[in-house]
C-alpha cells in the first residue's frame, strides 16, 4: 500500500518502473538459450596457413529479444576482441589486436590490421553485456595451427634507392621483402653503420604507425628530418645521419620475423657512399624523351638525369591522350631509378599525347617539381609550379 502523502503521478511512475523491471528479468531468463547458440568462427581462406579474420554470430535472437535494452549489432565492435596468447603458456597479451570491424546479419566480423600468423595462438572473446540482474557473459574461442612448422623462406628482395651513391639529405629508404612481414618492432631489426662499423645513433624517424603497403611486403623507412634540415635542433645537437664523402651500410638482421613468425633466411646489407646534399627542385623541362613510332608497342622512355623516388615515380607519372584520356600500359623504372619507361597495352596510334607528372613527385632528397624539400627562410625562393600536375606534350607519328 502506498503512503497517503505520495504524489499520484510519482506513484504511477514507480509502479511502471516495477513492472518494467519484472518484464526485463523475465526477458533475460527467456533468452538464455539464444545466448548459448552464439558462435565464434575463424575464417580460413583456401590454401591459407592462418585465419583471415574472426566472425562472432548467432547473437541476433538475443538482441531481438532484449530489444533496446542492449546495443544493436552496429555497436558490437567493442564486444569482440582478439588477443595473442604467449607461446608455451595461457598468458594473454593485455591489449587486443588492432583491426577493423564490419557488421554481419546478427553479429560482427573482425579483420586484423596485420595478418594472423600460423606461428601464434589467438583467443577471440565476445562479451555480452549485463542486463538488469543478469551477469556479463563471455564467449571465447582459440585458434592454433595444426600444420607442422615451416622453414624460413622470406628474404629482403631489394632496398631502394638501388644506387650505391645517395645525397647527404636522403629522405627515405624502401625495404622490399619477398613475402609478407610482421610489424610492430621494425626499428629493432634495422641498423645503420658508418665506415668505422659504428652504429649511427637514432638515424630513423621511428613512427608509432609503421608505413607498410597493404600486403606488408614494402616498408617505407624515413631518415629523421630533424637530422636533415638546416637550423633544426637535432641536426645541430647530434649531427646529420649521413655525411657527404663517407661510406655507410644499412643492415637488416635475420631475426626479423615474417607474417608466419619465421625469421628471414639471411641478413641483408646495402653499402653506399654519400654525396653532397641535393636541394634543387625537379625540373621536367630537363627530362630527355625517347618517342616510339606509331603502329608499334615500343616503350616511351624518359631519362630524368637523376634518381627519383621509386614508389612515387611509378604512381605519379602517366601518359594521356591530348583529350585527357589515360593510356593503359605498364610502367618500369630502371638504371637506378633514373629511367622511366611506359609500354602500352595496345600499339601506339598517330596523334598528340602528354606525359602528366603530379607535382608532389619526389627525388631522393624529397624535392618536388618546382619546390625544393628545404627552403631557407633567408633565400629568395619562388615556386614556379603552382598546379597539381604538369603536362609534357609529345607526338607519335
How far is Cα of residue 145 from the mean position of the Cα atoms in its chain? 26
pLDDT tens readout for residues 39-51: 899 999 988 888 9
Stated pTM of the model: 0.65
Residues 6+ apart with CB under 8 A from 165: 272, 273, 274, 275
Q: Answer whether CATH 3.10.20.600 is correct for domain 156-275.
A: no
Question: How many whole angstroms separate alpha carbon 127 and alpha carbon 38?
Answer: 11
Q: What is the pLDDT of residues 121-141, one digit of tens each?
A: 889 988 876 655 555 677 889
pLDDT digits (tens, 9 = 90+) for 54-70: 998 876 555 444 444 34
Tens digit of each residue's pLDDT (9 = 90 or more) over 243-302:
999 999 999 999 999 987 889 999 999 999 999 999 999 999 999 999 999 999 999 999
SS3 state at 145:
coil
Domain boundaries, given as residue ranges, for the chain: 31-144, 156-275, 284-396
What are the residues whose beta carbons fall under 8 Å from the beta carbon of 204, sequence distance 6 or more?
Answer: 187, 190, 192, 221, 222, 223, 224, 241
pLDDT of residue 75: 54
**Intrachain domains 31-144 and 156-275 with the same fold:** yes
Architecture of 284-396 per CATH?
Sandwich (2.60)
pLDDT in tens, 333-360: 999 999 999 999 999 999 999 999 999 9
The CATH number assigned to the domain with range 31-144 reads 2.60.40
Pairwise CA distance, residues 154 & 145, whole Å:
19
Q: Which grid coordinates belong to 343? A: 609500354
Rounded-to-integer distance, Cα 16 and Cα 14, Å: 5
Q: Exposed, middle or buried, 109 (CB in 10 Å: 0-12/13-18/19+)? A: buried
Segment 187-191 mean pLDDT: 96
What does the alpha-carbon distance between residue 303 and residue 308 come to, in Å, rounded to a whole number? Answer: 10
Q: What is the mean pLDDT of the chain?
A: 81
Amino acid at each position: 500500500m502506498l503512503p497517503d502523502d505520495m504524489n499520484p503521478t510519482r506513484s504511477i511512475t514507480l509502479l511502471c518502473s516495477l513492472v518494467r523491471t519484472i518484464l526485463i528479468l523475465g526477458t533475460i531468463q527467456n533468452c538464455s538459450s539464444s545466448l548459448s547458440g552464439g558462435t565464434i568462427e575463424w575464417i580460413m581462406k583456401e590454401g591459407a596457413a592462418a585465419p583471415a579474420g574472426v566472425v562472432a554470430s548467432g547473437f541476433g535472437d538475443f538482441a531481438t529479444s532484449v530489444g533496446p535494452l542492449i546495443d544493436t549489432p552496429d555497436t558490437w565492435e567493442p564486444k569482440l576482441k582478439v588477443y595473442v596468447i604467449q607461446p608455451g603458456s595461457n598468458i594473454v597479451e593485455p591489449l587486443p589486436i588492432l583491426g577493423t570491424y564490419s557488421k554481419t546479419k546478427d553479429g560482427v566480423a573482425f579483420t586484423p590490421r596485420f595478418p594472423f600468423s600460423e606461428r601464434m595462438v589467438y583467443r577471440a572473446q565476445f562479451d555480452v553485456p549485463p542486463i538488469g540482474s543478469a551477469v556479463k557473459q563471455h564467449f571465447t574461442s582459440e585458434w592454433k595451427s595444426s600444420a607442422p612448422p615451416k622453414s624460413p623462406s622470406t628474404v629482403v628482395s631489394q632496398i631502394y634507392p638501388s644506387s650505391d651513391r645517395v645525397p647527404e639529405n636522403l629522405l627515405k629508404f624502401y625495404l622490399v621483402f619477398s613475402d609478407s612481414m610482421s610489424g610492430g618492432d621494425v626499428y629493432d631489426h634495422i641498423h645503420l653503420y658508418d665506415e668505422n662499423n659504428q652504429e649511427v645513433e637514432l638515424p630513423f624517424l621511428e613512427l608509432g604507425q609503421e608505413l607498410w603497403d597493404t600486403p606488408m611486403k614494402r616498408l617505407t623507412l624515413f631518415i629523421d628530418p630533424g637530422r636533415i634540415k638546416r637550423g633544426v635542433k637535432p641536426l645541430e645537437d647530434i649531427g646529420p645521419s649521413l655525411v657527404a664523402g663517407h661510406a655507410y651500410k644499412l643492415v637488416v638482421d635475420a631475426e626479423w620475423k615474417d607474417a608466419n613468425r619465421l625469421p628471414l633466411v639471411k641478413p641483408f646489407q646495402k653499402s653506399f657512399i654519400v654525396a653532397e646534399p641535393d636541394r634543387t627542385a625537379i625540373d621536367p623541362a630537363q627530362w630527355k624523351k625517347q618517342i616510339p613510332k606509331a603502329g608499334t608497342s615500343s616503350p616511351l622512355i624518359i631519362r630524368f638525369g637523376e634518381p627519383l623516388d621509386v614508389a612515387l615515380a611509378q604512381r605519379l607519372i602517366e601518359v594521356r591522350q591530348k583529350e585527357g584520356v589515360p593510356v593503359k600500359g605498364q610502367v618500369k623504372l630502371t638504371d637506378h631509378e633514373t629511367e622511366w619507361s611506359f609500354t602500352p597495352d595496345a600499339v601506339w596510334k598517330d596523334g598528340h599525347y602528354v606525359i602528366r607528372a603530379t607535382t608532389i613527385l619526389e627525388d631522393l632528397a624529397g624535392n618536388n617539381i618546382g619546390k625544393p624539400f628545404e627552403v631557407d627562410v633567408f633565400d629568395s625562393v619562388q615556386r614556379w609550379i603552382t598546379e597539381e600536375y604538369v603536362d609534357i606534350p609529345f607526338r607519335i607519328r
